[in-house]
């Protein structure tokens, strides 16, 4: 929509973040089966812009689980209006925290080769993210 565009005639980054947070929260809540809140957007990488008539799809899944928090990985795939090849427009990692302080989160079972690769690096990402700021109570 025209109202979602910035001065470069591409989709405004804030709009992408809004939609991304909603989509990632569905993945987080479905996995945890309890109420969660977004604690942080740990990383957001703009790779390619989305133009006015492009459409996009967000794919997200849980990529790491702590004691009371979990991480969600998301990628935004663009589909050009001209019916060109799909493209990777953005990637992100978000952290969600359970509202219940005495919760028990399920064990993570990555299935695809991409999920396995992304999940294997979770301990490193968590260490780097948490070294600068206290983001969760894990």
pLDDT for the residue numbered 129: 62
Mean pLDDT value across the chain? 88
| 110-126 per-position pLDDT tens digit | 999 999 999 999 988 88
Alpha carbon distance 71, 79 (integer Å): 26
Q: What is the pTM of this model?
A: 0.86
Higher pLDDT, 135 or 93: 93
Alpha carbon distance 16, 95 (integer Å): 17
């Amino acid at each position: 929509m025209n109202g979602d565009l910035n001065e470069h005639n591409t989709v405004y980054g804030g709009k992408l973040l809004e939609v991304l947070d909603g989509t990632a929260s569905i993945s987080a809540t479905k996995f945890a089966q309890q109420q969660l809140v977004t604690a942080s957007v740990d990383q957001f990488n703009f790779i390619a812009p989305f133009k006015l008539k492009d459409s996009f799809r967000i794919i997200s899944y849980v990529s790491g689980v702590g004691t009371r928090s979990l991480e969600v990985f998301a990628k935004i795939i663009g589909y050009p209006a001209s019916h060109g090849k799909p493209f990777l427009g953005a990637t992100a990692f978000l952290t969600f925290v359970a509202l219940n302080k005495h919760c028990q989160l399920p064990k993570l079972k990555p299935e695809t080769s991409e999920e396995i690769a992304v999940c294997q690096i979770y301990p490193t990402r968590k260490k780097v993210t948490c070294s600068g700021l206290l983001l969760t109570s894990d």
